[in-house]
Amino acid sequence: MQAGPEAESRRCDIALVLALAAEMASLQAALNTHPEAAIVVMQSGPGADRAARTARQLVDQGARGLISWGLAGGLEPQLGPGSVLVPKRVIGPDGTVRSTDLRWQGRLVEVLGAEFEVHEGDLLGSLQVLESPRQKARLALACGGAAVDMESAAIGGVAVEASVPFVVLRVVADCLIDTLPRGVSDWVTPDGQTRLAPVLAALLRPSQWGPLARLATRYRAAHRTLDKLALKLVPAAFEYPPLNS
């Protein structure tokens, strides 16, 4: 899925990669308000391989900067739902460390800091969704990161290969203490759409009502922050330095 003015034919400037349709919604709303924005958005579906393929496609189309956009799981106790992560580094599941573009990253922190709770700690990559606090704590202890996702490290790898600047904008949804429903990764199709059947099945189990209600509250907070970020950053082309010097 791709969005943006004349996205199919024109050379793109800033390209955002995201995994889920729910993460696309905030950007699409902002683009509807600011169709002139020099950005392209592509939904890859979840996981590193899909994110990397999408990032390479965008680079082949002429992207001059890549952004990993969406939600993340918090790994530090102080990171609540809605916390914004603009990391200086991403660390892949294999331990590979990649720096984001520090000029671009620093500009985003400066612009967002007055309005949002912004954190610059490392973002860790995982090959799977971390469903339990124990899994999250184990990863945090081993690698010392602030949050985790499955796509940013792969997008960063493509950026390094292509010699284009790269930054991450992620919002914490589930926190360190949260347990996700078992098999939650099956709630999403390979292209990032929500599967209704497993969601409805979980809702039919009374034992899940409390945890699901708590998670729904956290995700609503995270999506509100994504909406605000998109409305602030889309008109400014995400503060891409060559465009905003």
Of the candidates 23, 90, 18, the one whose C-alpha atom is nearest the C-alpha of residue 54 is: 18
**What residues contact residue 204 under an 8 Å CB cut-off, 6+ apart?**
none
User: Which pTM value belongs to this model?
Assistant: 0.86
Whole-number pLDDT of residue 141: 79
Spatial CA neighbour of 84 closest among 218, 229, 216, 215: 229
- The CATH number covering residue 21 comes to 3.40.50.1580
Full residue range of the structural domain in which residue 122 is found:
2-244
Residues 174-208: tens digit of each pLDDT: 888 887 777 666 667 777 676 566 566 666 676 66
Q: What is the pLDDT of residue 146?
A: 94
Would you state the pLDDT for residue 139? 85
Q: Please give the pLDDT value at position 191.
A: 79
pLDDT of residue 186: 66
pLDDT digits (tens, 9 = 90+) for 43-67: 999 999 999 999 999 999 999 999 9
Task: For the chain, 245 residues long, give each residue's pLDDT as a single digit of tens.
Answer: 445 434 444 445 899 999 999 899 999 999 999 988 889 999 999 999 999 999 999 999 999 999 999 999 999 988 999 999 999 999 999 999 999 999 999 999 999 999 998 999 999 999 888 878 888 888 887 888 999 999 999 999 999 999 999 999 999 998 888 877 776 666 677 776 765 665 666 666 766 656 667 777 888 999 999 999 999 999 999 998 765 55
Pairing of strands 14-18, 84-85: unpaired
Q: How many domains does the chain have?
A: 1
Radius of gyration over alpha carbons of the chain, in Å? 17
User: What does the alpha-carbon distance between residue 145 and residue 127 come to, in Å, rounded to a whole number?
Assistant: 15
